[in-house]
């Protein structure tokens, strides 16, 4: 399905009115950089003119233009969206900058002409059902319908033509991290989203976790760690995830704040010494004593590429996002060998991490009429009916006393069928180079001994070493799940054969 890119702004904070503009028209989003000077005998909604670097642009008061009720004034924290329409540039005043977002065409709701007045400036609505959020789409053509914006007009933002020297310009998203400002090219910036959506299940080192974005897993890095800044204790309300793209990879980075979108004269960028970090292409100084480090996104994450590529291939739906080709493929997810997902069901168990497709909350389970036992429920996972195995019941543990909604579902499976394993909680991801054959099991596990053919030595939070049984999901599905869900997953790479070690510990009770 086709998507469109929009920049959204908060037009009126008191009314919660959010406005979106097609991103192709927005050249910058910035704070008010200088005084807005009133222009005598102008139209009522012209706030005035403002100098922006080496040009002067008209600034419009959208609250007046849209005839909003209540106060139509802006405070000192107002923001300006600089737009290019026809051959002219204008500034539109807003209370705040919100985000950049990609929107499926299915979420765009046109407003019927019969419901619009002669001067209606809103052409469509964006309905984000998951967030219970509606954004009004501004029709720029209607704002200036009585003006000639043809190519014969004057571009009010570009510097005067210089017959002796050619200037080139680039656009950067400017953000802060730690105590510094950085810029990344607009062409590498996909969108902004909120940190609340991050899943820290795979957090390790500078990797903060993963972001589920329209069915794909986007690895998320900590900007402070990546940029060698001093890490802050906590994120602020302004913190966001900036999703970026290179030729090889899509990834996110947690940043302190997005400051603006800035047009930069390339000839004014100060180059870095050859001996310095190549991930910084130069330094730009828009005003005295404000130094912005401009980043080469691909080189910035070059040392982290193997980890990021592995994370980006986690299966989140029917497909896997293959970062190198930019298309969808059917490769099997493998973060690294010898890694296990440790979880609890009264005691610790584990599953090989390469068998994990995703981890979700325990919601919307459906009981099968007439069915009883550990697999009496199913899950509708994006159009596929997946059997759910209650591992407590499967291994003959007593029913959990706490709320069942606090449990998690581990989605795993083979090339023919998926299954959801219901567990009490996720403990950690653990790397263990060796494993052992399972010795004699106590009677509780004997009926399911084919699913427990190995164990690992796990060192928990208290530093205590214990033996943890590893569940063989292939045998669990093949030997204990009667329900068939053909074509649940695309064909996957065949798992390597198991090679148990000869060092066998004492029995597990």
Per residue in 372-418, pLDDT (tens digit) is: 788 888 888 777 788 999 999 999 888 766 555 567 888 887 667 78
Least confident of 36-40, 211-215, 453-457, 480-484: 480-484
* 442: Cβ contacts below 8 Å, ≥ 6 apart: 507, 508, 509
Indicate whether 183 pLDDT > 90: yes
Summary count for the chain: helices (H), strands (E) = 7, 37
Sheet containing 454-459: order of strands: 425-431, 339-345, 347-352, 465-470, 454-459, 436-437
Q: Which two tokens stand for residue 402?
A: 């706490």
At residue 117, the pLDDT reads 62
Q: How confident is the model at residue 322 (pLDDT cuts 50, 70, 90)?
A: very low
Q: Which two tokens stand for residue 406?
A: 């606090």
Most confident of 272-281, 331-340, 462-471, 486-495: 462-471
3-state class of 195 per DSSP? helix
Q: Which two tokens stand for residue 273?
A: 């010494």
At residue 313, the pLDDT reads 56
Least confident of 30-34, 257-261, 308-312: 308-312
Cα 32 to Cα 208: distance, rounded to the nearest angstrom:
34
Length of the chain (residues):
509
Q: Which helix or strand (DSSP H or E) is residue 184 part of?
A: strand 180-185
Query: Whole-prediction pTM value?
Result: 0.43
Q: Name all domains of the chain by residue range, CATH numbers in brackets.
A: 3-143 (2.40.50.180), 169-310 (2.40.50.180), 339-480 (2.40.50.180)
Indicate whether 308 pLDDT > 80: no
Least confident of 48-62, 120-134, 159-173, 286-300: 159-173
Q: What is the largest CA-CA distance in the chain?
A: 93
Sheet containing 198-199: order of strands: 189-193, 240-245, 250-255, 216-222, 207-213, 198-199
Q: Which two tokens stand for residue 491?
A: 């064909």
Listed residue (105, 148, 9, 28) closest to 66, CA to CA: 9
- Percentage of the chain lying above the pLDDT 70 cut: 75
Q: Which two tokens stand for residue 495?
A: 């798992």
Q: How confident is the model at residue 503 (pLDDT cuts 50, 70, 90)?
A: very low
Q: Residue 41 — φ and ψ, nearest 5°?
A: 60, 30
What digits encode the pLDDT tens for the residues 124-162? 888 886 667 889 999 888 876 655 554 444 444 333 444
Q: How confident is the model at residue 275 (pLDDT cuts 50, 70, 90)?
A: very low
Cα 431 to Cα 305: distance, rounded to the nearest angstrom:
20
At residue 130, the pLDDT reads 64
Listed residue (8, 36, 37, 40) closest to 22, CA to CA: 8
At residue 391, the pLDDT reads 92
At residue 197, the pLDDT reads 66
What digits encode the pLDDT tens for the residues 202-236? 677 778 888 877 667 788 988 888 887 665 556 77
At residue 469, the pLDDT reads 93
Tell me how crowded residue 440 is: count the other CB atoms within 10 A of its CB: 11
Least confident of 111-120, 189-198, 212-221, 438-447: 111-120
């Amino acid at each position: 399905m086709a998507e469109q890119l929009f920049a959204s702004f908060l037009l009126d904070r008191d009314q919660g009115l959010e406005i979106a503009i097609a991103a192709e028209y927005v050249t910058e989003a910035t704070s008010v950089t200088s005084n807005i000077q009133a222009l005598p005998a102008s139209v009522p909604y012209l706030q005035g003119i403002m100098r922006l670097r080496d040009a002067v642009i008209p600034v419009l008061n959208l609250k007046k233009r849209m005839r909003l009720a209540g106060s139509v004034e802006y405070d000192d924290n107002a923001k300006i969206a600089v737009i290019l329409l026809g051959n002219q540039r204008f500034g539109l005043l807003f209370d705040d900058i919100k985000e950049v977002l990609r929107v499926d065409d299915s979420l765009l709701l046109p407003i019927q002409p019969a419901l619009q007045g002669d001067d209606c400036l809103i052409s469509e609505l964006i309905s984000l059902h998951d967030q219970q959020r509606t954004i009004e789409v501004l029709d720029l053509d209607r704002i200036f319908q009585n003006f000639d914006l043809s190519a014969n007009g004057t571009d009010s933002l570009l510097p005067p033509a210089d017959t002796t020297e050619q200037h080139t310009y680039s656009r950067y998203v400017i953000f802060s991290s730690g105590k510094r400002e950085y810029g990344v090219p607009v062409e590498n910036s996909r969108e902004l989203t909120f940190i609340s959506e991050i899943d820290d299940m795979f957090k390790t080192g500078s990797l903060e976790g993963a972001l589920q974005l329209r069915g794909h897993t986007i690895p998320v890095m900590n900007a402070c760690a990546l940029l060698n800044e001093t890490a802050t204790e906590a994120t602020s309300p302004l913190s966001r995830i900036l999703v970026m793209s290179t030729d090889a990879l899509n990834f996110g980075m947690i940043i302190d704040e997005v400051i603006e979108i800035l047009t930069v004269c390339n000839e004014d960028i100060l180059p870095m010494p050859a001996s310095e970090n190549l991930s910084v292409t130069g330094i730009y100084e828009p005003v005295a004593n404000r130094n912005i480090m401009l980043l080469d996104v691909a080189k910035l994450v070059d040392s982290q590429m193997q980890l990021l590529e592995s994370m980006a291939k986690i299966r989140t739906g029917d497909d896997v996002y293959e970062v190198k080709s930019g298309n969808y493929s059917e490769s099997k997810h493998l973060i690294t060998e010898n890694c296990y997902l440790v979880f609890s069901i009264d005691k610790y168990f584990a599953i090989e991490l390469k068998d994990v497709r995703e981890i979700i909350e325990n919601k919307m389970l459906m009981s099968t009429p007439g069915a009883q036992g550990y697999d009496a429920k199913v899950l509708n996972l994006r159009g596929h009916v997946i059997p759910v195995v209650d591992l407590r019941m499967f291994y003959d543990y007593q029913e959990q006393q706490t709320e069942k909604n606090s449990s998690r579902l581990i989605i795993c499976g083979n090339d023919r069928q998926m299954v959801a394993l219901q567990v009490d909680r996720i403990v950690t991801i653990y790397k263990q180079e060796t494993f052992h054959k399972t010795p004699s099991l106590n009677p509780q596990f004997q009926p399911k001994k084919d699913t427990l053919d190995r164990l690992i030595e796990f060192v928990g939070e208290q530093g205590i070493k214990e033996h943890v049984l590893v569940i063989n999901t292939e045998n669990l599905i093949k030997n204990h799940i009667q329900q068939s869900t053909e074509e649940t997953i695309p064909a996957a790479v065949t798992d390597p054969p198991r090679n148990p070690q000869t060092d066998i510990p004492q029995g597990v009770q």
